[in-house]
């Protein structure tokens, strides 16, 4: 782990232009391109690249592509998770995604934060008095068995609990507790999920299929 990464994980200002960080990002950006050039049936090579990009990935997880990871090594994804087209993760800070999750197209997870004042965004001084551009980052944690609709954005520092559904187009700025349906801009809890949401109560959609009990 580099010194600047230690600052990231401590929640402190860090310099994204640090040469060691830039080398990590360049490697990952190139691997993104390698993955996105492959055909969907080239599963062995796609899996090899994902294991090079990510900090961890569980068995049975599938990323449709194209994908865009910033660091890659700061992201872990659990087992049997499905991620649809155009998945973007700006994982300066750590990003963890649980088992059995589903992501619709064009979902984005971001962790970096920037100073609010324009002069501070342009430049600040490090401990040695050198002029540098800084930002900071907050981790994102997503539980198990979550479903994210298309075009969802998860903002820095957010935790989404287990068994949640996030409506399409939502911008998640605050934590979402377990077993909730949440939606909106900004995203808010609409209600708790319950047995009333079972497909049993939608026979016209269920058709001749059965719910497993």
Give the model's pLDDT for residue 170: 98
Q: Which two tokens stand for residue 45?
A: 């090579």
Give the 3-state secondary structure of the chain: CCHHHHHHHCCCCECCCCHHHHHHHHHHHHHHHHHHHCCCCCHHHHHHHHHHHCCEECCCCEECCCEEECCCCCEEECCCCEECCCEEEECCCCEEECCCCEECCCCEEECEECCCCHHHHHCEECCCCCEECCEEECCEEECCCCEECCCCEECCCCEECCCCEECCCCEECCCECCCEEEECCCCEEEEECCHHHCHHHCHHHHCCCCCCC
Residue range 80-89, pLDDT digits in tens? 999 999 999 9
**Could you give the strand order of the β-sheet that contains 165-166, starting from the edge strand earlier in sequence?**
62-63, 82-83, 102-103, 147-148, 165-166, 180-183, 188-192
Residues with catalytic annotation?
A: 114
Taking the model in full, what pTM does it have? 0.95
User: What average pLDDT does this structure show over 201-208?
Assistant: 92
Rounded to an integer, the average pLDDT of 193-202 is 93
pLDDT digits (tens, 9 = 90+) for 139-183: 999 999 999 999 999 999 999 999 999 999 999 999 999 999 999
Q: Domain spans of the chain?
A: 3-206
Residue pLDDT, tens place only, 60-113:
999 999 999 999 999 999 999 999 999 999 999 999 999 999 999 999 999 999
**What share of the chain has pLDDT > 90, as a percent?**
98
- CA gap 69, 174 in Å, rounded: 22
CATH of domain 3-206: 2.160.10.10
Q: What's the pLDDT band for 1 if we cut at 50, 70, 90?
A: confident
- Asked if the model's pLDDT at residue 213 lies above 90, the reply is no
């Amino acid at each position: 782990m580099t010194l600047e990464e230690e600052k990231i994980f401590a929640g402190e200002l860090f310099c994204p232009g640090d040469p060691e960080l830039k080398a990590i990002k360049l490697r990952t950006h190139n691997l993104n391109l390698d993955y996105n050039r492959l055909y969907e049936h080239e599963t062995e090579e796609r899996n090899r690249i994902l294991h090079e990009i990510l900090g961890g990935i569980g068995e049975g997880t599938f990323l449709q592509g194209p994908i865009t990871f910033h660091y890659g090594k700061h992201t872990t994804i659990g087992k049997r998770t499905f991620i649809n087209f155009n998945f973007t993760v700006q994982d300066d800070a750590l990003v963890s995604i649980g088992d059995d999750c589903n992501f619709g197209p064009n979902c984005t997870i971001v962790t970096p934060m920037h100073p609010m004042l324009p002069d501070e965004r342009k430049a600040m001084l490090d401990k040695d008095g050198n002029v540098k551009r800084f930002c900071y980052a907050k981790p994102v944690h997503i539980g198990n068995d979550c479903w994210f609709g298309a075009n969802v954005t998860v903002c820095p520092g957010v935790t989404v609990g287990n068994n949640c559904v996030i409506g399409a187009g939502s911008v998640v700025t605050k934590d979402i507790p377990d077993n909730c349906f949440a939606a909106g801009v900004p995203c808010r809890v609409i209600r708790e999920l319950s047995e009333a949401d079972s497909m049993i109560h939608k026979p016209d959609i269920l058709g001749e299929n059965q719910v497993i009990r």
